[in-house]
C-alpha cells in the first residue's frame, strides 16, 4: 500500500520540489527557517514570553469551558444587567408578567384537579417534544412542566427586547440562559419525569442499572477515542458504507481524488467533481448503497470524482485556507482535466467545501480559467452575516480565545467542535440522550448517518483561525475583501450556472443565509432549492425517502431579487427527494450526446490507480 503521506506527482497538479541540500551539510549548520529564526530572536529578547504565558492560561481555561470565553459571557451579561438595572419600566413589566403567570398557573392548578381535559395555560414550542407524553398530562406532573415553561417564557422576556443592549450580547444572554434552564428541565430528573418513574416502578429499577452501564461504557469509549455504542462494528468504512466501486487516482499531502467506476456503457461528457467539507469525512455522500448520492449519480450516467481529505494532526497546524484551495480544489481539478482533457466540469461543494469551491470559482473566473461548467452548493454559505446562532460567540474576544486553545493543541479537536454543534440543539442531542440512554436505559438503534457522525475529523489551527476571522468575523468573501494570490476576489465574477441547496432545519448553515447567494452572484442562472430536513439529513435525501419535500425556483440574471420569506411563501412545494430535480438540471447543462466512459486515471499524464476506493485518508482517526 502506498504511503498515505506520499505525494504522487502529476503533470498538472504538483509543483517541482526544491532540491535537497548537499549531503555534506549538517542540519545544525543550516540557519533556522524564517519563522523559527524570528521566534528565536524574540525568545532571546524575552518579548514573546508574556504572550505565551497568556496563551497557555487561556488554552487551559478553554479546555474547561468547552472553548467558550468567560470574558465574552461576562461582558454580555454585564451589558444586559446594567441596561436592565437602568430600565424601571422594563422591570415593572417583568414584575407584572411574573404575577400574571403565577395567577394563570394557580387557576390552571385548580381547574385541572376537577377536569383532566383542562387546556394547558402554555403550550410548548412546536419543536419541543419533551412533554408530549400522556403521563405528563396527569397531576402533579402537568403543573411541574407548566410552571417550567412559564418560567422559561419569563426569562425569554427578561433577556430580550432591552433598549440599548448590544444585539449580539442580548442574543448570547438569551441563548446561554436557555441552555441553563434546559439543564434543570423536569424531563431530565427521575424524580420529576413521570415516564422515568413509571419505567423504574415497572422494571424494579433495572432501567437505572442499564443506564449506569451505558454511561460507564460511553465514558470508557470516549476516554479511548472510540465510537459510541457499536457503530464502528455495524458500519465499517469500505465494507458497509463508502462502498461505491472506484479507484484513488491522485494523492498529495492533503487529499486523495477518487474516480468511480462507470455503471453504464455511455456517460455524460462532462464529469462531476465533489468537494466535501474537511470538517467531516467525505462518505456522508457515499453512505449505504440505497442512500449514496455518489452511487446515484454514477447510476444516472455521470463520471464522478470526489475529494477525500486527510484527517489532520497537530503536525498539520500550519495548513491554511489557501492550502486547501491550491492543494485541494485546484489539484483535484487538474487531476480531472488530466483524465478528461478539454471537458468542462460540473463542480459540487458541500458545507465548508462549498464555500471553498465558491472561492476557487471566483478566483478562476477572475483569472480566465473556464473549466467549471456548473456550480452546485449544498448547504454552503458565501455570506456569513446571518449565519445563525453560530455567530453568537464569534467576536474578537471569542476568536482570540479559541485561537489560544488551538495554538496549544495544533488545531480544533473533533469533540470540541461536536460539542459546539450539540449546544445549538441541546434538547435533541444532549438532554434527550441523557434521558433515553441513562435514565430509561434504552439504546437508540444506530444507522449509517449516526455512524458517520461518530467518525469525526479535526481542523488545523491556521485554517480554522482564517476561517473564523476572514469568513465569519470579517465576512470578507461577501464584501469583496477576500484575497487569492494577494488580489481580492468577488462572487459576482462567477458566471457559471449555480444550483444552491438549503435545508429547512439547518443549524449550521441556516437556509436564509444560504439564500444570500442570490444577492452576491451575477451568474447566468441561479436555481435555489429548499428541502426538508437538517444540515445532513436534508442533503442525504434519496428517492423513496419518506416524508421528503422541497421547493425550487430558477432566477436568471434579468430577474429581480425576491426576499427569502416571499420566495418561500410563493414557491410551490413538491413531494419527494430533490435529487431527481438536481439530476435533471445537470443533464440540461450537459452535452446531449453521451460518450464512452473514460479509463480510471490517466497513465499518460502520470495518474495511475493507487488503491481501491474509499482510499486510505478516510480511514485516518
CATH number, domain at 611? Answer: 3.40.50.1820
Kindly report whether the peptide bond that precedes residue 554 is cis, defined as omega within 30 degrees of 0: no
Active-site residue set: 351
Identify whether 569 is part of a domain.
yes
Question: From residue 167, how far is each of 150, 172, 507 by CA, in Å?
Answer: 24, 9, 19
Contacts of 261 (CB under 8 A, 6+ apart): 245, 246, 247, 298, 600
Q: Read off the pLDDT band of 154 (50, 70, 90).
A: very high
Identify whether 195 is part of a domain.
no
- Is the per-residue pLDDT at 584 higher than 60? yes
Q: Do 489 and 362 meet the contact criterion of CB atoms below 8 Å apart?
A: yes
Q: Do 256 and 250 meet the contact criterion of CB atoms below 8 Å apart?
A: yes
- Tell me: the pLDDT tens digits for 353-405? 999 999 999 999 999 999 999 999 999 999 998 887 777 777 777 787 777 77
Domain that holds residue 267: 246-619
Query: Count of CB atoms within 10 A of residue 201's CB?
Result: 10
> Looking up cell 454511561, which residue turns up?
215
Identify whether 392 is part of a domain.
yes
Give the DSSP H/E element, type plus range, for residue 528.
strand 525-531
Taking the C-alpha atoms of residue 84 and residue 162, their distance in angstroms, rounded to an integer, is 7
Identify whether 344 is part of a domain.
yes
Task: Specify the pLDDT at position 432.
Answer: 83
Identify whether 316 is part of a domain.
yes
Identify whether 430 is part of a domain.
yes
Identify whether 91 is part of a domain.
no
- Is the per-residue pLDDT at 225 higher than 70? no
Please tell me the total count of domains within the chain.
1
pTM, 2 dp: 0.84
- Is the per-residue pLDDT at 228 higher than 90? no
> Looking up cell 471569542, which residue turns up?
398
Q: Do 575 and 599 meet the contact criterion of CB atoms below 8 Å apart?
A: no
Identify whether 163 is part of a domain.
no
Task: Specify the pLDDT at position 308.
Answer: 97
Task: Specify the pLDDT at position 291.
Answer: 94
Report which DSSP code applies to 22: P
Helix axes 70-85, 167-183, angle to 10 degrees: 100
Task: Specify the pLDDT at position 14.
Answer: 37
Amino acid at each position: 500500500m502506498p504511503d498515505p503521506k506520499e505525494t504522487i506527482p502529476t503533470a498538472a497538479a504538483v509543483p517541482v520540489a526544491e532540491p535537497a541540500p548537499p549531503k555534506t551539510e549538517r542540519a545544525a549548520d543550516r540557519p533556522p527557517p524564517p519563522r523559527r529564526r524570528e521566534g528565536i530572536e524574540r525568545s532571546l529578547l524575552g518579548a514573546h514570553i508574556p504572550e505565551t504565558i497568556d496563551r497557555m492560561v487561556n488554552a487551559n481555561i478553554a479546555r474547561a469551558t468547552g472553548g467558550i470565553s468567560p470574558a465574552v459571557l461576562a461582558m454580555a451579561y454585564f451589558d444586559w444587567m446594567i441596561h436592565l438595572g437602568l430600565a424601571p419600566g422594563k422591570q415593572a413589566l417583568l414584575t407584572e408578567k411574573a404575577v400574571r403567570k403565577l395567577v394563570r398557573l394557580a387557576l390552571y392548578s385548580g381547574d385541572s384537579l376537577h377536569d383532566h381535559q383542562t387546556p394547558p395555560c402554555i403550550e410548548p414550542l412546536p419543536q419541543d417534544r419533551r412533554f408530549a407524553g400522556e403521563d405528563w398530562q396527569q397531576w402533579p406532573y402537568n403543573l411541574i412542566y407548566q410552571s417550567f415553561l412559564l418560567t422559561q417564557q419569563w426569562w425569554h422576556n427578561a433577556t430580550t427586547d432591552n433598549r440599548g443592549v448590544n444585539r449580539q450580547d442580548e442574543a448570547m444572554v438569551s441563548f446561554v440562559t436557555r441552555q441553563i434552564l434546559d439543564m434543570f428541565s423536569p424531563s431530565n430528573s427521575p424524580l420529576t419525569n413521570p415516564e422515568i418513574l413509571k419505567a423504574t416502578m415497572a422494571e424494579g429499577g433495572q432501567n437505572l442499572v442499564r443506564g449506569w452501564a451505558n454511561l460507564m461504557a460511553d465514558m470508557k469509549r470516549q476516554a479511548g477515542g472510540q465510537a459510541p455504542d457499536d457503530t464502528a462494528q455495524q458500519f465499517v468504512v469500505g465494507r458497509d458504507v463508502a462502498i461505491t466501486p472506484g479507484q484513488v487516482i491522485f494523492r498529495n499531502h492533503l487529499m486523495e481524488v477518487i474516480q468511480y467506476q462507470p455503471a453504464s456503457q455511455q456517460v455524460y461528457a462532462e464529469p462531476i467533481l465533489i468537494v466535501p467539507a474537511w470538517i467531516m469525512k467525505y462518505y456522508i455522500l457515499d453512505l449505504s448503497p440505497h442512500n449514496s448520492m455518489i452511487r446515484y449519480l454514477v447510476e444516472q450516467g455521470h463520471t464522478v470524482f470526489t475529494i477525500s481529505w486527510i484527517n489532520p494532526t497537530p503536525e498539520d497546524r500550519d495548513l491554511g485556507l489557501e492550502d486547501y484551495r491550491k492543494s485541494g480544489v485546484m489539484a483535484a481539478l487538474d487531476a480531472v482535466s488530466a483524465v478528461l482533457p478539454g471537458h468542462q466540469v460540473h463542480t459540487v461543494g458541500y458545507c465548508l467545501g462549498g464555500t471553498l469551491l465558491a472561492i476557487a470559482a471566483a478566483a478562476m473566473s477572475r483569472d480566465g480559467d473556464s473549466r467549471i461548467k456548473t456550480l452546485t452548493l449544498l448547504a454552503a454559505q458565501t455570506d456569513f452575516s446571518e449565519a445563525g446562532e453560530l455567530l453568537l460567540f464569534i467576536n474578537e474576544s471569542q476568536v482570540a480565545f479559541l485561537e489560544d486553545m488551538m495554538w496549544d493543541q495544533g488545531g480544533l479537536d473533533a469533540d470540541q467542535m461536536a460539542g459546539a454543534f450539540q449546544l445549538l440543539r441541546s434538547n435533541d442531542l444532549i438532554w434527550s440522550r441523557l434521558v433515553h440512554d441513562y435514565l430509561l436505559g434504552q439504546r437508540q438503534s444506530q444507522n449509517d448517518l449516526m455512524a458517520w457522525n461518530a467518525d469525526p475529523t479535526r481542523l488545523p489551527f491556521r485554517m480554522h483561525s482564517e476561517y473564523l476571522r476572514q469568513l465569519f468575523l470579517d465576512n470578507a468573501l461577501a464584501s469583496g475583501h477576500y484575497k487569492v494570490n494577494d488580489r481580492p476576489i468577488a462572487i459576482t465574477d462567477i458566471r457559471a450556472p449555480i444550483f444552491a441547496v438549503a435545508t429547512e432545519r439547518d443549524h449550521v448553515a441556516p437556509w436564509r443565509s444560504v439564500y444570500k447567494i442570490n444577492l452576491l452572484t451575477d451568474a447566468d442562472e441561479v436555481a435555489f432549492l429548499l428541502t426538508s430536513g437538517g444540515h445532513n439529513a436534508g442533503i442525504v435525501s434519496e428517492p423513496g425517502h419518506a416524508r421528503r419535500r422541497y421547493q425550487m425556483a430558477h432566477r436568471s440574471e434579468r430577474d429581480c431579487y425576491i426576499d427569502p420569506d416571499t420566495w418561500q411563501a410563493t414557491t410551490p412545494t413538491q413531494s419527494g427527494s430533490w435529487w431527481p430535480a438536481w439530476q435533471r438540471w445537470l443533464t440540461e447543462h450537459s452535452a446531449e450526446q453521451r460518450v464512452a466512459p473514460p479509463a480510471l486515471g490517466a497513465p499518460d499524464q502520470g495518474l495511475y490507480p493507487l488503491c481501491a476506493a474509499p482510499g486510505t485518508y478516510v480511514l485516518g482517526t
